[in-house]
């Protein structure tokens, strides 16, 4: 178990994906601070980039990864605020 190296660019970890706080904490404990290899967002970021991460993709949705990567929309996450602009 180790911390995910993508936390600084991850829209989920940076709380840019709407989610109940309890569920957020559970996913952070399970994926971000635990078994990140199973995280759907990490799989998309590793295979493409964080710009390809849809705004509604959660760490436990590994079943969606193949379709996202196959999508011709290379910037499906377009519109994410730039990290320096998000006020955090």
- CB atoms closer than 10 angstroms to residue 46: 12
Nearer to ligand SF4, 21 or 72 (CB): 21
Cα separation, 72 vs 46, whole angstroms: 17
Applying CB under 6 A, which of residues 19, 24, 32, 51 lies at the interface with ligand SF4? 32
Q: Determine which residue in the list 24, 54, 57, 59 makes contact with ligand SF4, applying CB under 6 A.
A: 59
Q: Which residue has the tokens 């295979």?
A: 47
| Angstrom distance (rounded) from CA 72 to CA 13 | 26
User: Does 4 interact with ligand SF4 (rule: CB under 6 A)?
Assistant: yes
- Enumerate binding residues for ligand SF4 (CB under 6 A): 4, 6-7, 10, 12-13, 31-32, 36, 39, 41-42, 45, 59
């Amino acid at each position: 178990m180790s911390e995910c190296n993508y936390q600084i660019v991850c829209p989920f970890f940076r709380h840019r994906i709407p989610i109940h706080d309890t569920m957020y904490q559970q996913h952070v404990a399970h994926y971000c601070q635990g078994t990140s290899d199973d995280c759907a967002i990490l799989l998309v970021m590793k295979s493409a980039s964080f710009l390809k991460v849809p705004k509604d993709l959660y760490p436990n949705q590994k079943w969606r990864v193949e379709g996202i990567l196959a999508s011709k929309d290379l910037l499906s996450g377009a519109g994410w605020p730039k990290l320096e602009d998000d006020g955090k």
